[in-house]
């Protein structure tokens, strides 16, 4: 199997999932429209669904921001530790470098 085939199948899966989600959303909306409810009930349900989706997106956004913030802190910690390691290594190697240059 060539890697090109793998990449195209991954793209196909992504496209299929996208269309699945679009179809589910359209089906849910169509089900609401065709449901035997009064206009007032339908608008109330539609508003509730909108608010629920909005809340879910806000929660997801907050979670994503928290994860990015945590990753940023981890990277900063690793970079600081890496800088300390380089400084320690320089201190240990410097006497050997001087000795080699003298010799």
Question: Which residues does 33 contact at the CB level (< 8 Å), separation at least 6?
Answer: 42
In this predicted structure, the answer to whether residue 2 has a pLDDT above a threshold of 70 is: no
Measured between alpha carbons, how far is 67 from 12 in angstroms, rounded to an integer? 29
pLDDT confidence bin for 10, thresholds 50/70/90: low
Tokens of 11: 């793209």
pLDDT in tens, 34-77: 777 777 887 888 889 889 989 998 998 899 999 999 988 888 88
Tokens of 85: 């390691």
- What residue spans define the domains of the chain? 1-35, 39-103
């Amino acid at each position: 199997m060539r890697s090109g085939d793998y990449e195209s199948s991954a793209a196909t899966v992504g496209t299929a999932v996208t269309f699945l989600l679009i179809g589910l959303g359209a089906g849910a909306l169509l089900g609401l429209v065709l449901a035997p409810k009064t206009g007032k009930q339908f608008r109330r349900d539609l508003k509730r669904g909108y608010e629920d989706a909005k809340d879910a997106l806000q929660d997801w956004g907050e979670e994503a921001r928290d994860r990015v913030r945590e990753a940023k802190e981890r990277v900063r910690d690793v970079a600081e530790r890496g800088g300390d390691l380089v400084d320690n290594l320089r201190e240990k190697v410097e006497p050997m470098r001087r000795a080699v240059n003298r010799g």
